[in-house]
Amino acid sequence: MIIDSLDNVKHYRYLNDRIKKAFEFLEEIDFETIEPGKYNVEGDEIFAIVSEYNTKKKEDARPEAHERYLDIQYIVKGSEYMGYAPLEDQDVSTPYDTEKDLVFYKADVDYIKVSEGMFAVFFPTDIHAPGAEIEKSEPVKKVVVKVLV
């Protein structure tokens, strides 16, 4: 897991070419005006999902992980808690869905506040529970860039 500001993205471009391209996409697009939806960056290897929602109670933020893609979750507007736990000896609550590349866990997560202009990178070895409210439910606009690993 990595959490940082988009201002510091230069430190992460070296990870691989797909991650570099994903961060370039985040830097180039004006997400304040872009509509929610799915956006192609590089076919099935890199795509983005723009969403707007209200944060939810921590107990409703389900711990999840992915096998084929890593997530770069970038907060355009608002702030939320994102839960994190390492994927080690965790109990599965909903089995892996190959079509959605998604599995849910019964994991205890630690929460980190991620605010406007910040991003979190969750690798396939990271359980994450995004979208949790900080003090009360508030609107958030977020971009999740999915990068094939």
Read off the tokens for 110: 């630690």
- Residue pair 134/93 in contact (Cβ under 8 Å)? The answer is no
Domain with 95, as residue range(s), is 2-148
Contacts of 5 (CB under 8 A, 6+ apart): 117, 118, 119
Give the DSSP letter of residue 117: T
pLDDT band with cut points at 50, 70 and 90 for residue 56 = very high
Q: What is the pLDDT of residue 21?
A: 96
- Which tens digits make up the pLDDT trace of 28-45? 999 989 999 999 999 999
CATH of the domain at 123: 2.60.120.370
- Residue pair 110/3 in contact (Cβ under 8 Å)? The answer is no
pTM of whole model > 0.85?
A: yes
Query: Which of 33, 79, 26 is closest to 54 using CA atoms?
Result: 79
Read off the tokens for 136: 């009360």
pLDDT at 13 over 90: no
What's the domain count of the chain?
1
